[in-house]
Every structure is written in C-alpha cells, then in structure tokens.
Homo-oligomer: A and B are copies of this chain.
C-alpha cells in the first residue's frame, strides 16, 4: 500500500501546488481526476517517488521512502513504475524499449524478448516490434510507453493520462490488461480526464482540485453526469 501523510509540494516558483494531502491507496485500481492544473501529475510524481515532498511522508508498503539510504531507495523504486503524460521512448526499436526494464533487472535478452512479444501481441501492437520511436503515431507511442512500464512486473503501476491518444479499441484492450494486472496482487493508479474510461474501470475515484482532495467518489457517481451530457449533446445532434 502507498500512503501519503500531510504532503506538501511546491515547484521552484514558490506557491504550494500540493496542500497537505493525506491519502491511502488501498484499492486495486485508483483513479485521480480533476481539472487541468489541479495537481494530478504532481501528485502522481510524488506517489512514484520522483518528487520529494517539501513536507510530509510518502510510505511505500509502510516504509518512509525519503528516509531510506540510496541503496534501499533503489530496491523500493523498482516496486513502482510511472508513465509520464508525455513519455519519452529510448532510441532503438520498440522491442529494445519494451525489453529495457527486464534487461536492467538482469533477465536474459531471449526471455525478455519473448515476454515483450507476448505483451505487444496482447496490446495488438506486434506490427510495431521493429519500428523506431520516430515512426510511431501518437497512440502507438503512448501504448509502447505503457507496455514498457507494465512489463517491469512492478507492484505499483502509475499511469498519467494513459488513454489521451488511444482509440476506442485500445482503450478496451488497456482496460482488460489493467484488470489482468491487478489480479496478481498489483495496484494501478491512474490520472485521467477520460470519464468513460474511469467509468468502465468501475473503482474508487479521487477528485482533486487546487492541490487538495475535494472528494472521493466511485465510478458509478460519474454515470449520471455523463449520461446527462450525452443526452444534451445527442438531442442537439438529432435536432440539427
């Protein structure tokens, strides 16, 4: 379990972006929503132990991360992967990218390739295996970055707006992969604006705004909201 205790954070520019957040991420899947600039990305980076809070503690499986020695930090870091909202891929092929987390964990190249190929297939991306990063469409790029993170086998998978460039089919594929992941005791934390995706994942939703937790909802609470929206939009279309 990941827990934040009274976490404060500000960028160099000064005013705090995260205001005393307390959070226990205990669900298989947690979704974070909130308007642009609410602090979702900042919060995810704190959860992923990339940003050190100005104040407060980040506990990973009960261990206070920022009090660890650097050796222990490394071990802890390997429990968490994070996919940036604008991820970077490394030079080399898609295969090279996807196998990277396995290679650095000491797996043999052969095994890594086998696993990577299986994952790419389940994401319907095997046709990309030998592509370079500059030969991918936006959605393909995003999926490869997600695949690269998932393959690591990390216990906590933190995804920042994973569906922003995905088509309908890939959203469904991603959804089912996430469901599979959590079956093996892993946890997924997702920040997103994609309410349909949030709805489908059918889980707890944390709404933040101005760096504070505003409410904790459940996917079904989104249902009404979206349905109304659709109705309105649909009526307009049908009338035109």
Contact = CB atoms under 8 A, between A and B. Distances in A.
A68 interface: no
A54 B137 CA distance: 20
Contacts of A38: 137, 167
A200 interface: yes
Nearest to A13: B135
A24 to B, nearest CB: 20
Interface stretch (A95-103, A149-157, A158-166): A158-166
Given A36-B170, A220-B234, A237-B202, A165 B139 contact: no
A92 interface: no
What is the predominant secondary structure among interface residues of chain A facing chain B? helix
Interface string A121-149: 00000000000000101111001000000
B165 A35 contact: no
Interface stretch (A72-80, A106-114, A180-188, A222-230): A222-230
* Residue in A38, A164, A195 with the greatest tally of chain B CB atoms within 10 Å: A164
A218 B193 contact: no
A233 interface: yes
A165 to B, nearest CB: 6
B229 A196 contact: yes
A41 interface: yes
A20 B236 CA distance: 34
* Residue in A36, A41, A139, A170 with the greatest tally of chain B CB atoms within 10 Å: A36
| 6 interchain residue pairs of minimum CB distance | A36-B139, A220-B237, A164-B164, A35-B167, A223-B234, A200-B233
Given A36-B138, A166-B193, A218-B237, 4 more contacts: A35-B167, A36-B166, A165-B193, A199-B233
29 contacts: A11-B135, A35-B168, A36-B138, A36-B139, A36-B140, A36-B166, A36-B167, A36-B170, A37-B137, A37-B139, A38-B137, A38-B167, A40-B137, A138-B160, A138-B161, A138-B164, A139-B193, A161-B165, A168-B195, A196-B229, A196-B233, A199-B230, A200-B233, A200-B236, A202-B236, A202-B240, A220-B240, A223-B234, A226-B230
